[in-house]
Amino acid sequence: MLRPGVTVKSVYGLDIPLAGKTGTSQNYADAWFAVFNPGLVMVSRAGASTAAIHFNNGSYGSGSALALPLVTLTLKKVVQDKSLNDKFIASFPDLPPELERSLDCPDFREKNLFDIFIDIFEPDKSTYDKKGEIIEKKIRSFLRKIFKNKKE
């Protein structure tokens, strides 16, 4: 499944400055998508009034499958109408220099089985103080890494 930002641009052809978030809750009974830019906030919710009515999985019942198309198709109409476009579609201002680095953080990725296997072979780690002296030394044997000794 495509990520929402990719879907908005590649599937629906909407290339305007946006920030958004999809969501799904209640066992795929509620799906939502919220999007904004400096001139507009739009939220869509698709779902039933009872959680007993729901999809079985996220392929059809997720925020990106149900609510995102509603918002995106509406935004396409806004973009096509010059008066609405001028009124609601605005660019985000540039970040001040002191805040630019605050968004520069590493990507997070869940470890898969291969990553866990590779971790077994990582070298032992030591913690050093400012003088370069060892504060804590972690020496773990291959078997301890596999069976994760509870003392560590």
Q: Are residues 139 and 71 in the same domain?
A: no
Q: Is residue 104 part of a domain?
A: no
Identify which of 49, 43, 52, 53 has the alpha carbon closest to the alpha carbon of residue 21.
Answer: 43
The overall pTM is greater than 0.75: no
Q: Is residue 57 part of a domain?
A: yes
- Cα angle for residues 79, 2, 40 (degrees, 5° grid): 30
Residues of the chain with pLDDT under 50: 152
Structure tokens at 107: 């990507």
pLDDT value for 152:
47
pLDDT value for 48:
81
pLDDT value for 74:
95
pLDDT value for 37:
93
Q: Is 97 helix (H, G, I), strand (E, B) or coil?
A: helix
Structural domain of 15 = 4-96
pLDDT value for 136:
67
The count of domains in the chain is 2
